[in-house]
Amino acid sequence: MPKHQDAKKRLKTIEGHIRGIQRMIDEDAYCIDTIAQIHAVQSALNKVSTMILEDHLHTCLITAVRGDDLEDRERVLQEIIDVFDAAAKV
């Protein structure tokens, strides 16, 4: 699971950035600088999300599509639709 390790490493980095944002707010840093850091964290989270989705498509989705269980196939496809639908609402 090297991709999971990479995702965990990225999340630890993001965690550090969030602590940095908290410090910026505590220290009353310039608002635009704080917003820029928030956008950087959002971008980093989007990258992790994309990595996890890509892994899911190459593993869980492929397994379901190749399998004989029609309900499982439909469930996995609906999950993908739901994820994109939820992302569009953000």
Q: Where are the domains of the chain?
A: 2-89
Distance CA 75, CA 70 (A): 9
Distance CA 65, CA 20 (A): 43
Q: What is the pLDDT of residue 87?
A: 86
Q: Closest Cα to residue 83, out of 43, 44, 56, 62?
A: 56
Distance CA 59, CA 37 (A): 33
Distance CA 31, CA 36 (A): 9
In this structure, which amino acid lies at residue 73? R
The DSSP 8-state label assigned to residue 28 in this structure reads: T
Class of domain 2-89: mainly alpha
What pLDDT digit, counting tens, does each position of 29-78 carry? Answer: 999 999 999 999 999 999 999 999 999 999 999 999 899 999 999 999 99
